[in-house]
Structures are given as structure tokens and as C-alpha cells.
Amino acid sequence: MSDGYIVEMSNITKTFPGVRALDNVSFHLKAGQVMALLGENGAGKSTLMKILSGVYTRDSGSMKIFGKDIEGDLNPKSAAELGVAIIHQELNMCNHLTVAENIFLGKELHHRGLLNKKEMMDRANAILQKLKIDIKADAVVGSLAVGQQQMVEIAKALESDAKVLIMDEPTSALTSKEIEELFRIIREVKADGCGVVYISHRLEELQHIVDEVTIMRDGKYITEGIFKSIPMNEIISNMVGREIKEQFPTIDIERGELALQVKNLNAGRLVRDVNFEAYRGEILGIAGLMGAGRTETTRAIFGVDPKTSGEIILDGKSLTINKPMDAIRAGIVLAPEDRKHDGLCVKLSIRENIALANLDQICSKGGLVNRNKERTIVEKAVSDLEIKLPNAEVNASNLSGGNQQKVVVAKWLANNSKVIIFDEPTRGIDVAAKVEIYNIMNELKREGIVVIFVSSELPEILGISDRIIVMCDGKVTGSLITKDTNQEEILSYATRFEKKID
Ligand SMILES: Nc1ncnc2c1ncn2[C@@H]1O[C@H](COP(=O)(O)OP(=O)(O)OP(=O)(O)O)[C@@H](O)[C@H]1O
Ligand SMILES: [Mg+2]
């Protein structure tokens, strides 16, 4: 191995129909090193790592893993045998199986022709214990929190002796506690001599975990170096290709009239007597820890989940919302958190996804689609948010993660809505696109639309909202004016659990 590299990728090129995803990219990783792989949405990070882990094959270029030339194509199995494991951007667990079954999925242990369940259970428990992960191997994965599922993915990778561990946006759905836990495990893995590739759009977390960075832009290698020696604004400008002046742009306008009132809303277990108000021309942040009931509240307002009681009043008029169509007709829309399940039809094209949300404008009364109108709306949405795609006919599933998220946001913008609820709109989105989304929220605010902004990232919620309500365990525990509050105060409301009697 030259210079202690365990991965050497040189001049890697990969083309998808209409897209050159990778153009002569180089990438290097050493043992015991955490390398951040950074770049905007669609830069090619996931594609490069999918090539390293055998999910995709390269068109050209050379690869060495542990000094061994990889002549032909890898597949996931042969890559795993070489010690490369990847934890994908979207988790890939079988929810109905146990932790042990997931860990040994595809490499089940046998004894005399039968599954050796006991040994799999024992070995799964052993690796969980080694990593000090407090999960039992016989737990059903579907019953675990996302953060715990992520830990199981890591345990799975390490059980198969991975020496190169690729994590594609591991923290995008984790609570701050879970992130700390993840970092602890990464440090242990690193101390064991494993090389870790760390992909993330949460730039503020890099300082806690990363040794070096490799930066890509538009499918090309840009630069690499020691993280601490490159100032953050330089990292950002290398990713984006220009300066970003204001990470949290705001506009100062006078708040308008009271528009939305949510009264004594109850739904399921996580929406308990929720009350709040929102005004025209303001961005109302909803903060809270994962599982606080924020998403459930937005779903109940939008009519996705049934309410058990409560009233939703818009401009003084009490609304009957039993399904999303009722909400959309009344002028309330939701850009949901889970883009894969709720936000997008991944099997449809981008054009169809955007058009579906705007049928009222695109269709004539007789139901005929006005193609010109459709094209105008779709083109505007794509250019407003700078969604990177070869053309609007590609399936949503082929876009990079962040660009999918932009489509979720974009599709509602052409709609004449009065209230737009954004649930974690910037999750997985790069730094430049975040600013674009904040600018869009500001524009909506200027137009007098009520913007509701659910986010788990305190810096952005403090940076963008005018007021913030905080939820904990299904209840609103605090209502704060942004300029008079700070992270600590929000966190104290976010952890205000009622004492429970078992
Ligand atoms: N299976 C595919 N078919 C067609 N195009 C694809 C496919 N996978 C990726 N692409 C395209 O390749 C480019 C690089 O995508 P990739 O997913 O690697 O980006 P990324 O850097 O991981 O972005 P993000 O931060 O948004 O996850 C994008 O233009 C994307 O649309
Ligand atoms: Mg990606």
C-alpha cells in the first residue's frame, strides 16, 4: 500500500443517461482516518461511494483497495469481502426482522444445513456490546428509533469486519443525543484502524469528528486537505463555487394579521391539546426533539392523520379538514418530512410530481391538461430552486437526495396557498440550497403567507424564524420570540417532560 492508503480511486468516471455524475474523480482514504466527502446536492458523493462499495460500476478509472488493484467490477458482495461497508443515505433495514436477522441478512450462519439462530443471536449481541450499543439482538428493527436503526447498520458493517466504513449522511435523522452516540462509535471504529468516509450537509458537526476533507463539485474533484487547516468559508466556497455571504438571510417586515389558529388539537398519542397561532407575514418555527410530536401535529392539521378533537381556524373561519384535499382547498399545504414516502411519487417524473400538486391551475374545468401552463409552472419551479436534472422527465428516484427534497418544496410553491408548512425542509440539502429555501420562505413571508417551519436544527430555526413554539411529548411547552431566546432556552422547553407514573 502506497503511503498507508487503504482506498485509492483515480480518474473515476461515471455517466447516467443525460448526466455525467463523475468526471475524473480521485479519492484517497487512510486507515484510522475520518474523511469527510463534501459537495453540493448532485455533486456525485453518493455515486462515488456506491462505486467503491460495488453498488454501481465505474465507466473508467482505477481503484485500489488495501493496495490491491481492482481490475473488473465490484459488486456489493465482493466489496464487502474486501472490507468495504456502506451505510446508505436512506436506511435499508427489514423492519419486520430482528436486529440479529438484519445483521446477518444475506450471510446467515448455518449449522448442519439449518440456520444457526443461536450463534447469530450471540454474535449480534457480542458486537452490540463491543460497541456499547444498548439494543438487544432479538428486538424487532421496526420497533427501534431511527437512530437505533442506524446503530444496527453500523453493527452490521462491523460484524462483517469492515475496514472501510462509508456513512452517507448518517445524522440527517438523528437526535443530538444519538449523534453524540454515533460520534463515540466512530471514534472507536477509528481507533480500531478502520477508515471512515463521512458524508454530511451538517457542516457544523464536522469539527467534532472529521480529520480530513475531500471536496467535489459538479461531478469533479476540487480539493482535499486537513479539516482544521481550511477555514469553513473556504470549504463552502469550494463546494459551491462562489462566496456565500449570509448563511441565514432574513427580512424584516411588520407582522400582519392573525391568520391561523390551532385550538385544542388532539390526534394520536403525540398531539395532545396543541394550541398555537400564526400570523400573516411571519415565519413560525416549531422546535423540539425527534419524537416531540411536531410532524404528527403538521399531519393532523393537513388532514393526513385523523384528529380526535380540536379546531383549525383560518382567517376567522373554522375549517373542516378530514383529508389533505380539504386542507389544500382551504389554502393549507404541507411539504412533509419523509420525502420518500409522503413527499414524492418516486416512480413518477419530476414534471408529474410538480404538476400533481398544481392540477387546479394546470387543468381546465373539463379536466384537460394545459401543457403550456404545465411547462411554465414546472420550469419555474425547477429554476427557482436550481434543481439539478437533465430534464423534467426523469424519475424522481434518480435525483440526488437533496434534489429530491427540493422537488418536495418546489411543487407547492406555484400553488396559491395561504399557509405553507415545511417539515424539515432542509434535511439533506446542501448549504447553498438551504439558503435558497430560506430565501423562498422569506419571499412567502413578504407576500403575507403564513410560513410554518419545523426543524430539528436549532441554528437554522433561530436564524430564520420570527417566533418559535417548542414541543415536547405531544404538547406545546414554550412560545418564544426568536430575538429574545437562545439554544439553551429552547432545549430546556424541548425536554420539559411531564413526570410519568408507570
Ligand atoms: N441511478 C441514477 N440514474 C440516473 N442519474 C443518477 C442516478 N444516481 C445518481 N444520478 C445523478 O448523478 C448525479 C450525482 O448524484 P449523487 O446522488 O451522487 O449526488 P450526491 O452528491 O450524493 O448528492 P446529495 O447530497 O443530494 O445526496 C446527480 O445528477 C444525480 O441526479
Ligand atoms: Mg447523496
pLDDT, tens digit, for every residue of 199-232? 998 888 899 999 999 999 999 999 999 999 999 8
The confidence score (pLDDT) of residue 497 equals 81
Q: What percent of the chain is modeled with pLDDT above 90?
A: 58
DSSP secondary structure of 277-289: EEETT-EEEEEE-
Per-residue pLDDT averaged across 53-65, rounded? Answer: 96
- Integer Rg of the chain from CA: 24
Confidence of residue 496 (pLDDT cuts 50, 70, 90): confident
Better-predicted residue by pLDDT, 349 or 428 = 349
Burial class (CB in 10 A: 0-12, 13-18, 19+), 455: buried
Task: Give 47 Cα–ligand 2 centroid separation in angstroms.
Answer: 7
Nearest-angstrom CA–CA distance, 396 and 163: 33
Task: Give 258 Cα–ligand 2 centroid separation in angstroms.
Answer: 40
Ligand 1: which of 27, 46, 168 to mutate, judged by most atoms within 8 Å of the beta carbon?
Answer: 46
pLDDT digits (tens, 9 = 90+) for 113-126: 888 899 999 999 99
Nearest-angstrom CA–CA distance, 336 and 328: 14
Confidence of residue 54 (pLDDT cuts 50, 70, 90): very high
Nearest-angstrom CA–CA distance, 450 and 468: 13
Which residues on adjacent β-strands are paired with residue 279? 258
Per-residue pLDDT averaged across 189-196, rounded? Answer: 94
Nearest-angstrom CA–CA distance, 491 and 499: 17
The confidence score (pLDDT) of residue 499 equals 62
Ligand 1 atom, smallest distance to 47 CA: 18
Per-residue pLDDT averaged across 365-381, rounded? Answer: 87
Task: Give 168 Cα–ligand 2 centroid separation in angstroms.
Answer: 7
pLDDT digits (tens, 9 = 90+) for 139-177: 999 888 877 888 898 888 888 889 999 999 888 777 777
The confidence score (pLDDT) of residue 136 equals 94
Ligand 1 atom, smallest distance to 56 CA: 1
Ligand 1 atom, smallest distance to 404 CA: 26
Ligand 1 atom, smallest distance to 216 CA: 21
SS (HEC) of 318-385: EECCCCHHHHHHHCEEEECCCHHHHHCCCCCEHHHHHHHCCHHHHECCCCCECHHHHHHHHHHHHHHC
CB-ligand 1 contact for 388 (6 Å cutoff): yes
Nearest-angstrom CA–CA distance, 279 and 419: 10
CB-ligand 1 contact for 395 (6 Å cutoff): no
Q: Judge whether residue 39 has pLDDT over 80.
A: yes
Distances, alpha carbon 287 to alpha carbons 250, 280, 467, 469, in Å: 18, 20, 10, 6
Residue 329 exposure: Cα atoms within 13 Å on the Cβ side: 9
**Nearest bound ligand to CA 430?**
1
Whether residue 411 contacts residue 403, with contact meaning beta carbons closer than 8 Å, is answered with no
The confidence score (pLDDT) of residue 305 equals 93
Ligand 1 atom, smallest distance to 44 CA: 18
The confidence score (pLDDT) of residue 90 equals 74
On average, the pLDDT of the chain sits at 90
Domain 257-331+417-497, CATH homologous superfamily name and number: P-loop containing nucleotide triphosphate hydrolases (3.40.50.300)
Better-predicted residue by pLDDT, 405 or 453 = 453
Confidence of residue 501 (pLDDT cuts 50, 70, 90): very low
Q: Between vectors from CA 114 to CA 108 and to CA 119, what angle results, nearest 5°?
A: 55
Confidence of residue 475 (pLDDT cuts 50, 70, 90): very high
Whether residue 182 contacts residue 209, with contact meaning beta carbons closer than 8 Å, is answered with no
CB-ligand 1 contact for 43 (6 Å cutoff): yes
CB-ligand 1 contact for 398 (6 Å cutoff): yes
Nearest-angstrom CA–CA distance, 490 and 493: 5
Q: Judge whether residue 2 has pLDDT over 60.
A: no
**Nearest bound ligand to CA 44?**
1
Ligand 1: which of 9, 15, 16, 222 to mutate, judged by most atoms within 8 Å of the beta carbon?
Answer: 16
Residues of the chain with CATH 3.40.50.300: 2-240, 257-331+417-497
pLDDT digits (tens, 9 = 90+) for 241-286: 888 888 899 999 999 999 999 999 999 999 999 999 999 999 999 9
- CATH code: domain 2-240 is 3.40.50.300
Span of 25-29, 265-269, 374-378 with lowest mean pLDDT: 374-378
Nearest-angstrom CA–CA distance, 121 and 109: 10
The b-or-e profile of 292-312 (16+ CB within 10 A means b, else e) is: bbbbbbbbbbbbbbebeebeb
pLDDT digits (tens, 9 = 90+) for 457-471: 888 999 999 999 999
CB-ligand 1 contact for 16 (6 Å cutoff): yes
Q: What does residue 191 show for φ and ψ, rounded to 5 degrees?
A: -65, -25
DSSP conformational letter for 21: E
Ligand 1 atom, smallest distance to 219 CA: 14
Task: Give 410 Cα–ligand 1 centroid separation in angstroms.
Answer: 18
CB-ligand 1 contact for 42 (6 Å cutoff): yes
Better-predicted residue by pLDDT, 263 or 425 = 263
- Can you say how many angstroms the Cα of residue 1 is from the centroid of all Cα atoms in its chain? 36
Per-residue pLDDT averaged across 411-425, rounded? Answer: 84
Sequence-distant (≥ 6) Cβ neighbours of residue 362 within 8 angstroms: 355, 369, 370, 373, 374, 377
pLDDT digits (tens, 9 = 90+) for 320-337: 999 998 998 899 999 887
**Nearest bound ligand to CA 23?**
1
Task: Give 50 Cα–ligand 1 centroid separation in angstroms.
Answer: 10
Better-predicted residue by pLDDT, 83 or 404 = 83
